[in-house]
């Protein structure tokens, strides 16, 4: 439980309770006197069995064999431990579907066997691994192997890759899948440095969320170090036919050979994005910033694995119109990777901050027009989706002391309401005040994990007290803790989207499509706006007219595909059905496929078709996507029965 302890020093408490080094004095903002931020009590992470207040991992050394034939990682994990509680006599780790073979503790210079207990698996949390450690050894070593079904790993046969020659695998650890490939204190409250020795078949390149060498030899024997302490959800590994091409001296692309040039061209602004973020929020602290382009089955848009963001190829559309995703993953190098939510229920600290920073980068690089357009689209989408959510899910932050269920999820509220909240603050205080505030916030909490209460306390002492009467505590609490969209939410208008809306109304009224000179300039956002503004169903003639003019069935732009196929299903437009199935089989990105599956799930024939498609798609789907679709169909079936 978290109880405000007003007299304690925040830095000391955070360092003590969260298993991480306090930032060196040089990293703390000089303008931010430490004692002024009242300390918060320990946040409870509902999604972990670990007890980091008693003992915390400070370093992890992995020695793993990566085997495509058995689809496993096997070897040892060695933990350096900080025993904080002198009475602690066990180490509790999170695991899921792991085969734990032995545990040892380092006593003097000898490794001595330790007993261990692996609990039966909880559906959400996996199995608690308890290792009695009466001697509180400085290091513990576990020998283990992963399951071929590990929820955090996807193994692809050569046929499922672009090159078709070599197999490919990759991890997705967020939110709590790291425990399916390493026994860990799988909570963002613990940060640790890591090193790894990984062996594999010699013809694949292995990469990790660490110091990947662009000139590394492909020889099946790889070593990595991650010198900055990270939370477990940023553990990442990938192996496959990956080649490297530079974008700048510190940024580049890893991808399958056939994809690498298109990726470098699409993401050529990456270095400019880094320097833009640095000019706003201080130096990039992680060394290199590379992008790894994964197959279309990657379930997310991107994953901010430090030094090596994992990226879906579905944003490579040829006109850079979806590169705000790169701005987003890069922004996490400050918000999320550097200053981290202490548990998933404070997801807005990662995702809302990041979406805000992303928008600032987009504005600097691509202009206010584009940034405003993205703001309006995200706010409109939030407005639409928030109405269907239970009130508990509409809330941005969680008050100190609240403990949620282990299945609480990060929704678009964290992203879109979170960034809207920060845009509200920016507008009230002005950039000349708000920008330095945020920069100091990143410095102050660098390499630490915090909760909403800690943010509020920092905000109160660093912004509110210096600038009274700009934002009231009531307004702040309204944004953070009340459902819905606050009355104080600032509104913006997008000139470009207004033009699209006008064109849309004209077509609905007269059947006249917007002129080619106009649509030629449209980006993915404007096309999406047009499709989203259409009524729920269109006549066969209308569908045919749009499809013939714009070739929407079979489009390679996933943002358009997901909207077009939903419309086609609702309108019963059959020519789109075959390309829709191909789209669902070949793309596994949740954001793109779930809206289509959701529409299919609404009718019995649709569910039948969805099940057929799922079976065809399953070998290429990530476990996260396959389970997501299964649950959706089960749920729809149940609602239908009741
Ligand atoms: Zn994010």
The CA angle 378-383-384, to the nearest 5 degrees, is 100
Question: Residue 548's pLDDT is what?
Answer: 97
- The Å distance, Cα 536 to ligand 1 centre, comes to 30
Cα distance between residue 574 and residue 254, in whole Å:
39
Q: Which helix (H) or strand (E) holds 36?
A: none
CA distance 349 to 357: 12
Cα–Cα distance measured from residue 366 to residue 362, given in angstroms and rounded to the nearest whole number: 5
Question: Catalytic one among 356, 415, 444, 597?
Answer: 415
pLDDT-based confidence at 160, cuts 50/70/90? Answer: confident
What are the tens digits of pLDDT across the range 68-79?
999 999 999 999
Q: Sorting pLDDT into bands at 50, 70 and 90, what band is 24? A: very low
> Listing from the earlier edge strand, what are the strands of the sheet with 117-118?
90-95, 127-132, 117-118
Residue 380 pLDDT greater than 60, yes or no: yes
> How confident is the model over 117-148, as pLDDT tens digits?
999 999 999 999 999 999 999 999 999 999 99
Q: Tell me how far the alpha carbon of residue 298 lies from the centroid of ligand 1, in angstroms.
A: 15
pLDDT at 32: 36
Distance 603 CA to ligand 1 centre (A): 33
Residue 275 and residue 330 in contact, taking contact as beta carbons nearer than 8 Å: no
Q: Please tell me the predicted confidence (pLDDT) of residue 31.
A: 34
Ligand 1: centre distance to CA 116 (Å): 36
Q: Average pLDDT, stretch 612-619?
A: 95
Nearest CA to 246 out of 303, 295, 204, 288 is that of 288
Inter-residue contact 94 to 136 (CB < 8 Å): no
What pLDDT, in 10s, does the model give residues 435-477? 999 999 999 999 999 999 999 999 999 999 999 999 999 999 9
Residues 6+ apart with CB under 8 A from 221: 197, 199, 202
Q: How many helices (H) and strands (E) does the chain have?
A: 20, 23
User: Using 50, 70 and 90 to split pLDDT, how confident is the model at 18?
Assistant: very low
Is 181:148 a contact under the CB 8 Å cutoff?
Answer: no
Question: Containing H/E element for 168?
Answer: strand 168-171
End-to-end CA distance of the chain: 38
Mean local confidence (pLDDT), 253-260? 97
Written as six digits, the tokens of 208 are 């990790």
Mark residue 293 as left, alpha or beta (left: phi above 0; alpha: psi -120 to 50; beta: remaining).
beta
Asked if 426 is an active-site residue, the reply is: no
| CA separation for the pair 306, 318 (Å, rounded) | 26
User: Is 183:95 a contact under the CB 8 Å cutoff?
Assistant: yes
What pLDDT, on a 0 to 100 scale, did the predictor assign at position 95? 98
Neighbours of 389 (CB within 10 A): 15
Please say whether the beta carbons of 274 and 251 come within 8 A.
Answer: yes
Categorise residue 449: left if φ over 0, alpha if ψ from -120 to 50, beta otherwise.
beta
pLDDT number for residue 120: 97
Could you tell me the pTM of the whole model?
0.90
Q: How far is the CA of 188 from the centre of ligand 1 (A)?
A: 15
Average per-residue pLDDT for the chain: 91
Contact 317/557 with Cβ under 8 angstroms? yes
Which DSSP symbol is given to 461? I
Split at pLDDT 50, 70, 90, the class of 409 is low
Backbone angles phi, psi at 452, to 5 degrees: -60, -40
Tokens of 38: 């009242």
Active site residue 329: yes
Task: Reply yes or no on whether the pLDDT at 565 is more than 50.
Answer: yes
* C-alpha closest to that of 176 among 125, 142, 140: 125
Around ion ligand 1, which residues have CB less than 5 A away? 351, 354
Residues 610-623 have a mean pLDDT of: 93
**CA–centroid distance, residue 572 to ligand 1 (Å):** 35
Specify the pairing of strand 55-67 against strand 192-199.
parallel
Whole-angstrom Cα distance, residue 108 to residue 519?
Answer: 72
Q: What span, in angstroms and rounded, lies between the C-alpha atoms of 98 and 95?
A: 6
pLDDT at 14 over 70: no
Chain segment 274-320, per-residue pLDDT in tens: 999 999 999 999 999 999 999 998 889 999 999 999 999 999 999 89
Q: Tell me the CA–centroid distance for residue 313 and ligand 1, in Å.
A: 17
Pick the catalytic residue from 256, 329, 426, 440.
329
Task: Work out the average pLDDT over 408-434.
Answer: 93
| pLDDT of 336 higher than 50 | yes
Structure tokens at 606: 């649709």
Mind listing the pLDDT tens digit for each residue in 196-211?
A: 999 999 999 999 999 9
**With bands split at pLDDT 50, 70 and 90, how would you rate the model's confidence at 20?**
very low
Q: Where are the beta strands (DSSP E) in 43-152?
A: 55-67, 72-83, 90-95, 99-107, 110-114, 117-118, 127-132, 139-145
């Amino acid at each position: 439980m978290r109880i405000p302890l007003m007299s304690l020093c925040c830095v000391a408490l955070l360092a003590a309770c969260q298993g991480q080094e306090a930032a060196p004095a040089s990293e703390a903002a000089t303008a931010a006197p430490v004692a002024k931020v009242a300390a918060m009590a320990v946040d409870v992470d509902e999604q972990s069995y670990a007890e980091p207040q008693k003992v915390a991992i400070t370093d992890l050394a992995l020695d793993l064999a990566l085997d495509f034939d058995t689809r496993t990682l096997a070897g040892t994990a060695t933990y350096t431990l900080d025993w904080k509680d002198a009475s602690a006599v066990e180490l509790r780790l999170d695991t899921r579907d792991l085969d734990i073979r032995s545990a040892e503790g380092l006593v003097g210079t000898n490794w001595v066997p330790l007993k261990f207990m692996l609990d039966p698996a909880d559906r959400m949390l996996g199995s608690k691994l308890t290792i009695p450690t009466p001697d509180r050894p400085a290091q513990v070593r576990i020998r283990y192997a992963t399951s071929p079904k590990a929820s955090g790993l996807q193994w692809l046969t050569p046929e499922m890759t672009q090159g078709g020659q070599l197999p490919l695998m990759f991890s997705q650890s967020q939110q709590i899948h790291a425990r399916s490939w390493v026994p860990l204190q799988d909570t963002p409250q613990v940060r640790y440095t890591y090193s790894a020795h990984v062996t594999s078949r010699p013809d694949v390149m292995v990469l990790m969320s660490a110091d990947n060498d662009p000139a590394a030899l492909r020889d099946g024997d790889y070593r990595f170090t991650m010198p900055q302490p990270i939370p477990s959800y940023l553990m990442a590994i990938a192996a496959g036919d990956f080649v490297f091409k530079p974008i700048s001296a510190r940024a580049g692309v890893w991808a399958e050979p056939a994809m690498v040039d298109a990726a470098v061209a699409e993401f050529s602004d990456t270095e400019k994005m880094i320097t833009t973020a640095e000019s706003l929020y201080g130096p990039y602290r992680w060394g290199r910033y590379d992008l790894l382009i994964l197959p279309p089955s990657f379930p997310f848009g991107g994953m901010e694995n430090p030094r090596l963001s994992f990226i879906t190829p579905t944003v490579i559309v040829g006109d850079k119109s979806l590169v705000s995703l790169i701005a987003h993953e890069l922004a996490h190098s400050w918000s999320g990777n550097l200053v981290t939510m202490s548990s998933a229920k404070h997801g807005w600290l990662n995702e809302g901050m990041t979406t805000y920073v992303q928008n600032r980068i987009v504005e600097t690089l691509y202009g206010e027009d584009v940034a405003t357009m993205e703001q309006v689209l995200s706010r409109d989408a939030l407005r639409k989706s928030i109405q269907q959510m239970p009130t508990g899910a509409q809330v941005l932050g969680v008050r100190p002391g609240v403990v949620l269920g282990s299945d609480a999820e990060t929704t678009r509220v964290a992203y879109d309401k979170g960034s809207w909240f920060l845009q509200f603050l920016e507008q009230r205080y002005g950039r000349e005040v708000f920008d330095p505030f945020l920069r100091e916030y990143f410095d102050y909490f660098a390499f630490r994990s915090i909760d909403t209460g800690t943010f509020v306390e920092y905000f109160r002492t660093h912004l509110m007290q210096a600038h009274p009467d700009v934002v009231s505590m009531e307004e702040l609490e309204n944004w953070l803790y009340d459902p819905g969209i606050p009355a104080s939410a600032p509104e913006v208008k997008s000139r470009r989207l207004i033009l699209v809306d006008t064109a849309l109304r004209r077509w609905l009224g007269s059947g006249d499509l917007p002129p080619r000179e106009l649509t030629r300039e449209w980006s993915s956002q404007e096309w999406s706006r047009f499709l989203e503004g259409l009524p729920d169903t269109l006549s066969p003639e209308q569908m045919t007219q749009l499809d013939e003019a714009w070739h929407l069935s079979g489009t390679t732009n996933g943002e358009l595909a997901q909207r077009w196929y939903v419309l086609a299903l609702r309108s019963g437009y059959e020519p789109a059905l075959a390309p829709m199935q191909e789209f669902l089989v070949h793309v596994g990105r949740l954001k793109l496929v779930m809206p289509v599956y959701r529409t299919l799930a609404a009718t019995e024939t649709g569910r039948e078709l969805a099940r057929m498609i799922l079976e065809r798609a399953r070998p290429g789907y990530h476990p996260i996507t396959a389970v997501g679709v299964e649950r959706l169909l089960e749920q729809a079936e149940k609602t239908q029965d009741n």
